[in-house]
Amino acid sequence: MRPARTETYEHTMTGLLAKRADLFNEAERIRDRLAEIKNDIGAIDRTLGVLGYEGDLDAAMPRQKREVIFGKGELTKAIYGELRHAAGPLTSRDIAREIVTMQGNDARDRKYLSDLTKRVSKALRAMREAGEVRSMADDKGNLSWERRG
């Protein structure tokens, strides 16, 4: 009788690659559905405004769990690591893009990248106040960041 196992794990790798593709496609569908839902909520909010609703729409929403992406000090550590390895000054968006890639997330996810860029900017301002980094503005007022010293 011939054993069912292979020496090269070809079947396992093929199966895992297929499962990975399925999960990636499912994530794309979920992301698209989430965008549709957010658009629908925006349309409902606009309609309520046209009809004269003056209440606080955010207060009427059910409370959502806060999504913790970084533990205490993790974002600052990641930012400092990116600045340490950079050849020159980086923008907040450049730093956020590198962190997204480092985490293995999709850097094409504009909403996630935009949210992370805001967090990175806030953390960099705090780091500047602590004297850990410095910023330089270009002619348009955009800031670039680098390690101090």
DSSP string of 111-143, one letter each residue: HHHHHHHHHHHHHHHHHHHTTSEEEEE-TTS-E
pLDDT at residue 66, as a whole number: 61
| 1 has pLDDT over 70 | no
pLDDT at residue 94, as a whole number: 92
Number of C-beta neighbours around residue 143 at 10 A: 17
Q: Read off the pLDDT band of 3 (50, 70, 90).
A: low
Domain covering 65-149 in this structure, CATH number:
1.10.10.10
What's the mean per-residue pLDDT of the chain?
86
| 83 has pLDDT over 70 | yes
Q: Is the pTM of this model over 0.75?
A: no
Give residue-wise pLDDT tens across range 93-143. 999 998 888 888 777 788 888 888 999 999 999 999 999 998 988 888 888
Angle at 92 between CA 90 and CA 94, to 5 degrees: 55
| 44 has pLDDT over 70 | yes
Share of the chain above pLDDT 90, in %: 31
Enumerate the β-bridge partners of residue 72.
none
pLDDT at residue 51, as a whole number: 93
Give residue-wise pLDDT tens across range 17-27. 999 999 999 99
Higher pLDDT among residues 25 and 5, named by residue? 25
pLDDT at residue 64, as a whole number: 66
- Is the torsion defined by CA of 51, 57, 59, 61 positive or negative? positive
Q: Which tokens is 34 given?
A: 């989430």
Share of the chain above pLDDT 70, in %: 91
Of the candidates 94, 79, 81, the residue with the CA atom closest to the CA atom of residue 125: 79
